């Protein structure tokens, strides 16, 4: 039962199902850098790839993007890709600055030695390591290549603005911090929930999920459904991840509350029958307020939880 007043809504539930990235944690800069690198490897437009992949399993994305990728190779490539995200997140901005400088100094020799029609690839692309053609780069290659692409973009923008780098301070200001961060309101909300009353259901695989949670000091819950769970047949926007998480918690999905930020995740939550609270962390309100979420909030600071004597959770939403 839900009770609504002018600016608040109150209802009860038996448990909580959290999406992870974009809901609990923010690693969007590192994720977008990794997909940018992957798009460049595949000769695709990075912005289109980033838009198409948000909120979906990396395995589903890679199967769609990479021609001829065999199913038996998907798990390995997902693990490598998600480790590259964490590598981006763990690279200090100062180190990235020096990488940019190295990339710029190397660009002249690379450019002068290739035809204008020859695509730019990392130096190690010609290594003897046997890989699927679309996955010929190591994580180190991916980091170096994306640092190069980002530094190239920064330089081009500076040239267009007629404001080339004058000193290290100006260069530092243009470097993006890709570290994983906890989002507003998350810690207080999780701390207000009894143990065993909440789970994580994410489109990330175990390596990425546990890596992000540990980097932000969020305790990994006992129920954590990741994209590589062998019991999971379909990912978001299908409801399977939330249905499985609810089952592992021992609750009816229709008595669960789903927190999500992406359109595909919101659709999955709605399809599961849960009460869905969408949070405007990765998308603007107008992009997600018509997908079916029961409530839309700016941050999780707007959500409070009380414990009732009968074991239920009372939610108070300020919106």
For domain 2-26+180-318, the CATH architecture is 3-Layer(aba) Sandwich (3.40)
What are the residues whose beta carbons fall under 8 Å from the beta carbon of 319, sequence distance 6 or more?
7, 8, 9, 295, 296, 297, 302
Domain coordinates in residue numbering, the chain: 2-26+180-318, 28-173
Q: Model confidence at 91, in pLDDT bands (50, 70, 90)? A: confident
pLDDT at residue 85, rounded to an integer: 93
Q: Packing angle between helix 58-65 and helix 71-90, nearest 10 degrees? A: 120
Distance CA 270, CA 277 (A): 10
**pLDDT of 117-140, one tens digit each?**
333 333 333 222 233 333 334 444
What pLDDT shows up at residue 97? 47
Sheet with 295-297: list strands edge to edge.
Answer: 224-225, 198-201, 15-18, 256-260, 275-279, 295-297
pLDDT of residue 60: 92
Q: What pLDDT sits at residue 217?
A: 96
Least confident span in 147-161, 204-218, 241-255:
147-161
| Mean pLDDT over the full length of the chain | 80
């Amino acid at each position: 039962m839900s009770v609504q007043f002018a600016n608040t809504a109150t209802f009860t539930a038996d448990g909580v199902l959290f999406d992870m990235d974009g809901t609990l944690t923010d690693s969007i800069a590192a994720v977008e850098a990794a997909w940018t690198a992957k798009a460049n490897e595949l000769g695709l437009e990075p912005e289109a790839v980033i838009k198409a992949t948000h909120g979906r399993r990396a395995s589903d994305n890679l199967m769609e993007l990479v021609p001829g990728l065999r199913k038996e190779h998907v798990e390995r490539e997902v693990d490598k890709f998600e480790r590259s995200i964490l590598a981006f997140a763990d690279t200090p901005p100062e180190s990235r600055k020096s990488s940019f400088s190295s990339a710029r100094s190397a660009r002249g020799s690379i450019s002068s030695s290739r035809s204008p029609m020859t695509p730019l690839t990392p130096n190690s692309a010609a290594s003897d390591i046997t890989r699927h053609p679309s996955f010929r780069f190591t994580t180190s290659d991916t980091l170096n290549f994306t640092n190069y692409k980002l530094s190239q973009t920064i330089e081009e923008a500076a040239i267009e603005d007629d404001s080339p780098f004058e000193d290290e301070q100006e260069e530092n200001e243009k470097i993006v911090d890709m570290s994983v961060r906890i989002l507003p309101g998350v810690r207080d909300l999780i701390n207000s929930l009894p143990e065993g009353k909440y789970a994580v259901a994410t489109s990330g695989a175990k390596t990425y999920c546990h890596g992000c949670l540990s980097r932000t000091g969020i305790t990994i819950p006992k129920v954590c459904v990741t994209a590589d769970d062998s019991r999971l047949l379909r990912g978001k926007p299908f409801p399977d991840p939330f249905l499985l998480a609810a089952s592992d918690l021992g609750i009816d999905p229709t008595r669960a509350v789903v927190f999500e930020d992406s359109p595909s995740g919101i659709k999955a939550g709605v399809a599961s029958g849960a009460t869905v609270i969408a949070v405007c962390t990765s998308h603007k309100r107008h992009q997600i307020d018509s997908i079916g979420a029961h409530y839309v909030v700016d941050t999780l600071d707007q959500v409070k939880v009380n414990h009732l004597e009968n074991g239920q959770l009372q939610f108070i939403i300020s919106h």
